Amino acid sequence: MNVILFLVDALRADHLGCYGYGRNTSPFIDKLAKQGALFKNAVAAASFTMPSHKAILTSVYDDGGNLERLNPAIKTMPELLEEKGIATAAFISNAVTAKQSGLDKGFSFFDEGLGKMDTGRGEKGRTAGQAVDSALKWVEKNKKKDFFCFIQVVDTHGPYVPGEEFVEMFNDKLLEEQNQKILPLSSNDLGYKSIPQYQQIKGERKFGEYVARYDAAIRYVDSALQKLWKKLAEAGIERKTALILTSDHGEAMGEHDWFFCHGIDLYEESIKVPLLLILPGSAGCLIEEQVTHLDIAPSVLDLFGLKNGKQMQGISLLPLLEGKHGGQEHVFFEMHSDVQSKIVDTVVSGVRTNKWKYIETKNLKGEGNLGKSIARIAKGTRKFGFSIVKSTASKSVQLLPKMLKARSGAIERELYDLENDFGERKNLAKKEKGVVEELQEKLNEWRKKQKMLKENLGEFDKVIDAAGEMKERLRKLGYFS
């Protein structure tokens, strides 16, 4: 048995044809979806890259922001596979998940393809085609073994820079309609009612141009995945290879007034992700039950006939493919304020059922004075340089009021009826107090569980030491102005 986990950074499920999108962004992925399981309600563990990757590869909620490494006491799914003699490899294209992140644990081959894409922002690393080519070389050497191969591609992460031949595919009526919306250009990398600075294309302000480029990037990734599958077939190993396709988080496209960014909130556009599981010889099926990032690692282990690691919090998805009931009645997600971009130390947490979503913004640590906030910024300044002050000031303008409210001890509560208000526009927290109390209790129970796990794992230096080349890559990601 072989398993390939193909992760497309910042890919929204609803921009794929198999999830109902009108544009032809994903013809090959749509074809694969008819041969396997499509999970309609797959939910990310966070709307940041690093926390989501931790959850995917460990089945553990290891909280934090993008610059906080994996706790070394957490055993990864690749480690468990390697112990059983299964070959493991990762092909990484995002600087945040490079070796400094700790995500290389358990991979006998860890390939960082960074700085190979000429976008003006070298952090994007290689293209999907380059990542696939590198993976295929490794597969050729290891095709006689059982293997797990993780391929991460970032073409759908901003800035959207697909080849013009792909952009031209989406010169259509939708482009004309969407181009009627003109947006201002942001002075920072947040896209509140504006186009983020790092996304801007030669002063272009038309909304549709950016959506078309995002869709074109999906089409390019689709072609790279098709090439991968074709080569596996030519090598005669696709018949014993399972494919899992997913994303680490979504991407805002104007919902809640945020454009072309992520890591801002926990609304559906940020945490609903695609999830396809294609097994050799399987038939197509639609899975309605809720599942989460934490279910991916147990599913991979199950495919190899192995049991969950004792720290793992997810469940295998394979019984769902057999028509058995399962899934997660309640799924949890969280977003911590990043040390390098927010002026206050708050956390946004949520719990979701198929009908309800409850979101809570609060200060968990109870540090309610300004002096500790200033001390926190000073610590970050010493570690990352004075540029953090400029970055903090410019990026917190839109988020600060809500964060400061949480800092003062007040709790911001939101409740949405996903069946009747999928866009999460009507906050029912004050009206549906019984539902809020029930979901708040679930959230508190989950927090207690995570706190106990963290205490058992012990303390460690979690902040990635961004220096030299790593710091430059992160600067180009918008962490340092």
Are residues 266 and 405 both part of a single domain? no
Which residue, 265, 296, 328, sits at the end of a domain? Answer: 328
Q: What is the pLDDT of residue 187?
A: 83
> What mean pLDDT is predicted for residues 284-298?
96
The CA distance from 179 to 208, in Å, is 5
pLDDT tens for each residue of 294-321: 999 999 999 999 999 999 999 999 999 9
> Is 481 domain-assigned?
no
Do 282 and 367 lie in a common domain?
Answer: no
Q: Is residue 180 part of a domain?
A: yes
pLDDT at 458 over 80: yes
Residue 57 has pLDDT above 60, yes or no: yes
Cα 306 from Cα 143, distance rounded (Å): 21
Q: Are residues 178 and 213 in the same domain?
A: yes
Based on DSSP, count helices (H) and strands (E) in the chain, helices before strands.
15, 13
Residues 280, 429, single domain; the answer is no
Domain of residue 277, CATH code? 3.40.720.10
Q: Mean pLDDT of all residues in the chain?
A: 87
Query: Are 289 and 365 found together in one domain?
Result: no
Mark whether 387 and 413 lie in a shared domain. Answer: yes
- The confidence score (pLDDT) of residue 121 equals 45
Span 161-186, average pLDDT? 96
**Residues 196 and 315 both lie in one domain:** yes
Assigned domain for 197 exists = yes
Together in a domain, 27 and 165: yes
Which domain-ending residue is among 313, 328, 343? 328
In this prediction the pTM is 0.91
Predicted confidence at residue 157, as pLDDT, reads 93
Q: 3-state class of 151 per DSSP? A: strand
Mean pLDDT of 392-408: 53
- Is the same domain home to 219 and 238? yes
Domain that holds residue 87: 2-328
- In sequence order, what DSSP letters do the residues of 382-433 get, joined into one string? HHH-THHHHHHHHHSTTTHHHHHHHHTT--EEEEEETTT-TT--S--TTT-H
* pLDDT score of 384: 46
Which pLDDT value is given to residue 323? 85
Distance of CA 240 to the CA centre of its chain: 28
Confidence bin at 14 (pLDDT 50/70/90): very high
Q: State the pLDDT confidence band at 472, using cuts at 50, 70 and 90.
A: low
Residues 173 and 255 grouped into a single domain: yes
Examine the pLDDT at 271 and tell me if it is beyond 50.
yes
Does residue 456 fall inside a structural domain?
yes
What is the per-residue pLDDT for 409? 64
Better pLDDT: 464 or 411 = 411
pLDDT in tens, 104-136: 999 999 999 876 545 444 455 689 999 999 999
Are 362 and 376 in a shared domain? yes
Report the range of poorest mean pLDDT among 59-68, 140-149, 180-189, 376-385: 376-385
**DSSP code at position 1:** -
- Using the predicted structure, report yes or no on whether residue 367 has a pLDDT greater than 80: no
**In a 3-state reduction of DSSP, which class is residue 477?**
coil
Q: Which of 409, 404, 424, 296 is nearest to 350 (CA)?
A: 424
pLDDT band at 388 (very low <50, low <70, confident <90, very high): very low
Domain final position from 328, 346, 371:
328
| Statement to judge: residues 35 and 146 lie in one domain | yes
pLDDT at residue 286 is higher than 90 = yes
Domain count of the fold of the chain: 2
